[in-house]
Amino acid sequence: MENAGGVRVLWRRALESFWFYPAVLCVSAVVLAEGLVLVDRALPAETVQGVGFLRALSASGSRALLGAIATSVLTVAGTTFSITISVLATTTSTYGPRLVRNFMTDRGNQLVLGVFTASFLYALIVLRSVRSQDDDGSAFVPTVAVNVAVLLAVLCVGVLVYFIHHIADSVQVSTLQRRLRDELDAVVELLAPPESRTGAVDAAASLPESLPPVQGERRATATGYVQWIDVDGIVEVARRAGGTAEVLVRPGDHVLVREPCLRLRGTAAWSEADARAACRGIVLGVERTPHQDLSFAVQQLTEMAVRALSPGMNDPYTAAYAFDTLADGLVRLVERDPPSAGRTDADGVLRAVVRWPQPEELLGAVLVAVRTYALAAPVALAAAVRLVERLAHADARPGPRARLRTEVRAWRDAMEGSELLPHDREPVVRRLDAVIETLRLG
């Protein structure tokens, strides 16, 4: 049970890699090719020829056809993915290098590569089974397998058309932002669901005083970013040990070797096996991922807005779209109970403490970026004001409202020294004053 988090992360890494689906399809192609060759050997020639849509070919004709399919499919695969790398380089230099993972995890790209490579392998495996009378005195042409190769070649043509459309669609700003919005929505639903999670306790303020005495600490055995915390697994281990596990890191934190990551609490010492099992619930990786890292999910959209406002890109409309996209996740986040710091077992005993990022931290990070980079861009500034207006009118908790009021006041003060002309600055100042008044009355 305690290894569930690690297995889940490893499985997700496999699914998000560029090799998993192609590898599965390639193995399937080899099995299919060998299976159809066996079918061809078992079926009488009269039976095969009696099927109208199967075209019988000579050994030389089959070899020429299979060779043409294998060569053309592999050539097209190399060309199309050379184009993909070029598009990746251009897009990531524009919108940020962290968006590379969006192309790597794209199911369409993975399946296109898989279909091309699997078709090549299929044609190659079938080709080696073709025998002519001159080879060993017994001619053999796998008619069914050769005709399936033709069908795969037709499928590759359709996949190529799909890929051209898909790669053109995937580099559009709207598509990139939709993916980032979906990732933000998913992590908000995970950490701050509409209804309280079973076993969750709101112990953010009282936890430090109410926790059992410290029995020891566990330190990281590797360097990396915290990608996942298996809270359910840690709760189970802590219940078995009769104590409470206090996680000292959060998803997205960078941890060095031998830095403390877990504090073991209870009235009795933990066994070494339980301590190791609880520590395995903290999964490290070489990069941040948005699956449980709420800060990173927000940061990706904020970074897109910031890069769009840089002098080299100078695209305030992309920044405006990014602020609009952020509004969806942030409004729902501030309207819900913050991620719970504590988790109990089935008996209601506190077993795990994880201090997740709070909504006010995320609001502060976004509005600091606005105050730093957007003050000279009226288009982006209007979208940012629309974002805080939506947050101000949301049914937010006291913490987020207080942080929003502080940040909007700082933004209001910074407007006095901005480079905007008075004609552009005054409407923004009036709207910010209205937001401050709304937050004060709320």
Of 173, 282, 272, 176, residue with least CA distance to 225: 282
Between CA 431 and CA 103 the distance in angstroms is 39
Q: Is the dihedral of CA 342, 343, 345, 348 positive or negative?
A: positive
User: So what's the pLDDT on residue 124?
Assistant: 94
> Residues 325-380: pLDDT tens digits?
999 899 999 988 888 888 888 888 889 999 899 999 999 999 999 999 998 899 99
Taking only Cα atoms into account, the Rg of the chain, rounded to an integer number of angstroms, comes to 29
Contact 125, 33 (CB under 8 A): yes
Question: Rounded to two decimals, what is the model's pTM?
Answer: 0.82
353 membership: H or E segment, kind and range: strand 350-354
- Tokens encoding 237: 């281990």
> Residues 371-387: pLDDT tens digits?
999 988 999 999 999 99
User: So what's the pLDDT on residue 45?
Assistant: 63
Name all contacts of 259-264 with Cβ < 8 Å and 24+ positions apart: 259/219, 259/220, 260/217, 260/218, 260/219, 260/220, 261/218, 261/219, 261/220, 262/217, 262/218, 263/214, 263/216, 263/217, 263/218, 264/214, 264/215, 264/216, 264/217, 264/218
User: So what's the pLDDT on residue 5?
Assistant: 57
User: So what's the pLDDT on residue 203?
Assistant: 41
Query: Ramachandran region of residue 138, left (φ > 0), alpha (ψ -120 to 50) or beta?
Result: beta
Of 217, 229, 200, 230, residue with least CA distance to 265: 217
Between CA 87 and CA 78 the distance in angstroms is 14
Hey, is 342 helix, strand or coil?
strand
Which ranges of the chain have pLDDT less than 70? 1-6, 45-56, 133-137, 196-209, 442
User: So what's the pLDDT on residue 93?
Assistant: 74
Between CA 238 and CA 245 the distance in angstroms is 6
Query: Ramachandran region of residue 252, left (φ > 0), alpha (ψ -120 to 50) or beta?
Result: left
User: So what's the pLDDT on residue 2?
Assistant: 46
Angle at which helices 143-170 and 173-191 pack, to 10 degrees?
Answer: 90
Beta strands in 53-211 (DSSP E): 200-201
263 membership: H or E segment, kind and range: strand 260-266
The residues, ordered by sequence, that sit 6+ positions from 61 with a Cβ below 8 Å of its Cβ are: none
- Tokens encoding 274: 């339980």
